[in-house]
Amino acid sequence: MPKILISLVITSILFSSLFAITDIAPVDFEDKPTGFSGSVFGSFKIKSGNTNKEEADYGGRIQYDSKKNITWLQANIERGTARDIITEDSIFLHLRHISQLYTQDWAIEYYAQYKHDEFKSIKNRTLYGIGSRYRLVNSKKYGKLFLGVSALTENINYLTSINNVGLNPDEYNYRISSYISYKKPINNTFDISLLTYYQPKINNTSDFMTSTSSEMTIHLTKVIDLSYIMSFDYDSTPAIDIKKTDIAQKLSFIYRFGKDDPVSTYTENLLK
C-alpha cells in the first residue's frame, strides 16, 4: 500500500506541469478496480517585457475504490498576477466518501469542502454535509443518472469583516443541498456529463446558491483525454459589490493514472 501511494505522488509530480483538468463526471461502484486512481493538472504562463504576467492553475484528484465504498479528494489552486497586481487567487478542496446501502442504486455520502476566493471576498468557506444518493438510471443506452440530497453546515468568513462599517458579516448557515449528476458514453471515444447543484438556506429559501457544469470528453488514448467544460454559478446573496453570476469555460488535456497507466506502473516497479 505505501508503495502504491508513493508511486501516485511521483506520477503527480511528473505530470503536474503538463495537464489541466476539472472532473465533474459522477463516480459509481465497481466502475474501477479496487485500489487507488486519480488525475493531476497544472498549467503555467509567464510573460515578461512589455507584459509582466504570471498565471498558474494546478492541483489534482486521488480516489480509492472498493466494492462498496468510494473515497476521493480533489484540490485546485489558481493564482494570477499582472504588473504585480493580483488578478486571481483561489483555493478549492473537496473530500467525499460514498458507501453503498441496500443495493448499488442507494448510497450514503459524507463530505467536507473548503474554498478561498479573493475576488469573491471569501476568506474561507467551509462546509460539512451528510446525505443520500439514488441511481435513477443505469443503462448502456441512456447512461447513468444520479439524484442526491443532503443537509450541510456552512461557515463563511469574508475578507471584509463586520468590524468595518458597511462591509460583510461572517455567516454560519444550514443548507439543503440537492444535485443531479449524469454521464452518457456516446461511443468508445466520446462522453458527455452534466452536474447541477441547488443549495438554499433551510431558514430562508430565497438565499440560495446554484451551479451547473457540462462536460464533453474525448478519449485520445487509454490515459489521456481532451475535455471541454462550461460552468455557470449563481449566488443570490453574494458579498457586497460581488456579481451574482460567474460563467467559465475550460479546454483541458487530462492525464488519468491508476493501476494500468504506464507511468504509475513504471514508478511502482522502481520501488519494488
pLDDT per position as a tens digit, 126-139:
999 999 999 999 99
pLDDT truncated to tens, each residue of the chain (272 aa)?
444 444 444 444 343 333 334 567 888 988 888 888 888 776 766 767 666 778 777 778 899 999 999 999 999 888 888 777 777 788 999 999 999 998 999 999 999 999 999 888 888 999 999 999 999 999 989 999 999 999 999 999 888 654 554 566 788 999 999 999 999 999 989 999 999 999 999 999 999 999 999 999 999 988 888 888 899 999 999 888 889 999 988 777 778 887 666 655 545 555 55
Whole-Å CA distances, 131 to 92, 124, 141, 142, 166 = 21, 23, 28, 25, 37
Task: Report which of 252, 231, 248 is spatially closest to residue 20, judged by C-alpha positions.
Answer: 252
Which sign, positive or negative, has the C-alpha torsion 155, 159, 162, 166? negative
Identify whether the C-beta of residue 114 lies closer than 8 Å to the C-beta of residue 122: no
Describe the crossing of helices 2-15 and 262-270 by its angle, rounded to 10 degrees. 130
Task: Report which of 78, 170, 94, 161 is spatially closest to residue 127, judged by C-alpha positions.
Answer: 94
d(CA 74, CA 62): 7
pLDDT for residue 167: 62
pLDDT for residue 16: 37
pLDDT for residue 33: 85
d(CA 39, CA 59): 9
Please compute, for residue 57, the number of CA atoms within 13 A of its CA located in the half-sphere on the CB side: 11
Residues in contact with 203: Cβ distance below 8 Å, sequence separation at least 6, in sequence order: 174
CATH 2.40.160.40 fits 2-270, yes or no: yes
d(CA 4, CA 258): 9
User: Angle 146-116-56 (CA atoms, 0-180°, nearest 5)?
Assistant: 95
Give the Cβ contact number of residue 61 at 10 Å.
20
pLDDT digits (tens, 9 = 90+) for 108-120: 999 999 999 988 8
12 burial via Cβ count (<10 Å: 0-12, 13-18, 19+): buried
